[in-house]
Amino acid sequence: MLQSKIAGIGYYVPKNVYTNNDLTRFMDTSDEWIQERTGIKERRYADRIGETTTTMGVEAAKIAIERAHITNEEVDFIIFATLSPDYYFPGCAVLLQREMGMKEVGALDIRNQCSGFIYALSIADQFVKTGMYKNVLVVGSEKHSFALDFSTRGRAVSVIFGDGAGAVVVQPTAEDGKGILSTHLHSDGADAEKLAMYYPGASSGIWLDKIPDWPDQELGGLLMTKEMLEDGTAFPNMDGQAVFKKAVVKFPEVIHEALAKNNLKTSDISLLIPHQANLRISQFIQKTLGLREDQVFNNIQKYGNTTAASIPIALCEAWEEGKIKEGDLVCLAAFGAGFTWGSALIRW
């Protein structure tokens, strides 16, 4: 069986920088409050009009394709991971295919939120290893800013997230022991409502008993009511403590799983790039695994949590800064809504 490798990588973040102090114009918060809880200092927000999840993905994809030394016409499959698509349907993958003028290739959308890029990379890895495709474009892109509650009520969620996109091109490689060594995917839906955006949806209230503190009101099925906007149920909901407790267990587990699969140890890791969920989570994982500070790459301080885009943005930035060199062992890991989590081990 063939091995697959990341042949090209790129990222794009919007020009609009919003610092923690900027957010104090909309909500009762402070730079100190946000940094203490998340480690975030600033984030990027896309233009309200004209800049979308897809267009940001296109910009990242252009760079990845150029660095892979291929053309748009040579891409033979697209995988697009996002929780913030341009439309409820169709997904962003076909919109990217159209915007980039690609041929009629397969296009797949992944809705695994924070772990979306790991899931997408794993799928690309399988397609390439089996010989089905030679140039798989994997994109993670998010425009969170259009759907956040920028009020004091929503600050616990809204201060965390930012916009941006990252992309890679996955190709086959004949180099023994190089490329994507293994990927590992997991899920547990028992606490799905702990981190969720309930609307729009078609549940018609079937899961109502699982949603915490739901107000006593008539449900609108797919409809978004004025009451939902007023009471906050129209916006993303997160039980931060529950997410943190689960993440700090599952992150190390899935990293150890990847290392064990390849008969490696934590000390063999050249660079760990965790999903940029919260700097406190990353620091906890670093301590748990006994890694040095220079073995873990974090950029959440600059971009916030860009969900499916966070790993490819961080991976590209680390590579551009010379922190990833040929032969390095790079571990990617993510945990997020669902709950879903996963890891990928790569010999660069």
Percent of the chain residues topping a pLDDT of 90: 77
> Which of 20, 92, 114, 144 is an active site residue?
114
- Is residue 72 annotated as a catalytic residue, yes or no? no
Q: Is the pLDDT of residue 227 over 70?
A: no
> Which of 144, 305, 316, 331 is an active site residue?
305
Residues 6+ apart with CB under 8 A from 42: 17, 18, 19, 20, 301, 302, 303, 304
| Paired tokens of 42 | 């600033």
Q: Is the pLDDT of residue 129 over 80?
A: yes
> Where do runs of H (alpha helix) occur along the chain?
20-23, 31-38, 53-67, 92-99, 116-129, 155-158, 226-231, 240-261, 279-289, 300-303, 310-320
In what helix (H) or strand (E) does residue 270 lie, and over which residues does it extend? Answer: none
Domains of the chain (ranges plus CATH)?
3-173 (3.40.47.10), 179-190+239-347 (3.40.47.10), 198-234 (no CATH)
Enter the pTM of the model: 0.92
For residue 112, give the DSSP letter. Answer: -
Q: Is the pLDDT of residue 198 over 90?
A: no
- Quote the CA–CA distance of 147 and 139 in Å, as a whole number: 21
Mean pLDDT of 83-104: 95
Q: Is 161 helix (H, G, I), strand (E, B) or coil?
A: strand
| Long-range residue pairs from 301-304, CB within 8 A, at least 24 positions apart, any chain | 301/39, 301/40, 301/41, 301/42, 302/41, 302/42, 302/43, 303/13, 303/42, 303/43, 303/44, 303/162, 303/164, 303/276, 304/38, 304/40, 304/42, 304/43, 304/44, 304/159, 304/160, 304/161, 304/162, 304/276
pLDDT at residue 242, as a whole number: 84
Q: 346: left (phi > 0), else alpha (psi -120 to 50), else beta?
A: beta
Q: Which residue has the higher pLDDT, 339 or 176?
A: 339
The label of the residue with tokens 């927000």 reads 45
The label of the residue with tokens 């989570």 reads 281
pLDDT at residue 212, as a whole number: 66
> Which of 92, 135, 144, 275 is an active site residue?
275
- Quote the CA–CA distance of 276 and 333 in Å, as a whole number: 10
- Is residue 92 annotated as a catalytic residue, yes or no? no
Helix 92-99 × helix 53-67 angle, to 10°? 60
- Is residue 316 annotated as a catalytic residue, yes or no? no
- Quote the CA–CA distance of 122 and 112 in Å, as a whole number: 12
